[in-house]
Structure formats: C-alpha cells, structure tokens
Amino acid sequence: MMGTTAPQQVIASFNDYPPAQELVERLAESGFPAEEAQIVGKGLRTVEQVTGRTTAGRATAAGAAAGAWFGSLLALLAVVLADAAWSSVVVAIPAGALWGAVAGAVGHRVTRNRRDLTGVHTLVAHSYDVRVPADRADEVTRCLRPAE
C-alpha cells in the first residue's frame, strides 16, 4: 500500500507500538487484508539507552576486532584475486588486529572526555495511530466488535 493516495481513517490510537500491532493482527485474523492497514507513529524522537563508558581497553579491543576483520578481508581478496598464498590470511589477521588496536587506543585517547559513553539509539513515537482506507473503516469497526 506504499505510495497510495487513498484517504485513510484512524480507527484507534495507542501510546505504545505493541497494542497497535496486536490490533492489526486481530484485523488480519478476522479476514481484513493486513496490507491495507497502516501503523503511523506520531511525535518521533530518539532515545539513547546509555550502556556504559568506553574505556581504553574497550576502544582497543573494538579496534583490534575491526582490524582483524579488515585484515582477513584483504587477505582473502588477495588469495582469490591475486592468487596469493593462504598463509597471507594467517599473517593478515594478527597484523590487522594490531593496527586496529593501535588505532582504537589512539582514537580513544584523542577524544577522551568528549565521547566516552556507549549506548543504543532507538526511534520511538509519542503515539501510534492505526489507519485503514476510509471507505473500509465501517467494515473494520464491525470486525472489531465482540460477538453477541
């Protein structure tokens, strides 16, 4: 239903996403085509859940891991594309890890006290509207009524 210009009607509003999702699932279970429903978040904001501080050890370890991956990628490309020896993979992984560790440690030292928090960013909405095509809103309302 992406890109549709058909008028939509709000049939319910929720403060959290799960109840909006449950409503759409109930509609689908009652035979309403779920692809015609929309869940629209309003009042979007980002929330960062702080998970800790970046220590020199964490920055060094993260750099080492990234360097090892990069080294292995370059070595595998050399083996496949340039017919290099497989032993180059054995050499490239620790070399990449060493350079990555140094880069991580130096990067942490340079940005000390300015960017030393770690966290997970999430996009959340203030509320969630469940919308359906306006010409089918009455049908949806009937689907949601409890059986008598």
Model pLDDT, residue 24: 94
For residues 108-130, average pLDDT: 86
Going by C-alpha positions, the residue among 114, 107, 124 that lies closest to residue 59 is: 107
Q: How confident is the model at residue 1 (pLDDT cuts 50, 70, 90)?
A: very low
For residues 113-119, average pLDDT: 76
Computed over every residue of the chain, the mean pLDDT equals 88
Angle CA 80–83–89, to nearest 5: 65
CA distances from 7 to 3, 25, 60 (A): 12, 22, 54
CA distances from 66 to 12, 103, 111, 116, 122 (A): 46, 10, 19, 18, 24
Model pLDDT, residue 6: 78
Cβ atoms of 128 and 20 within 8 Å: the answer is yes
For residues 13-24, average pLDDT: 95
Cβ atoms of 137 and 11 within 8 Å: the answer is yes
pLDDT of 115 higher than 80: no
Between 2 and 72, residue with greater pLDDT: 72
Going by C-alpha positions, the residue among 147, 66, 69 that lies closest to residue 104 is: 66
Amino acid at 99: W
Where along the chain do its domains lie? 8-44+126-144, 54-121
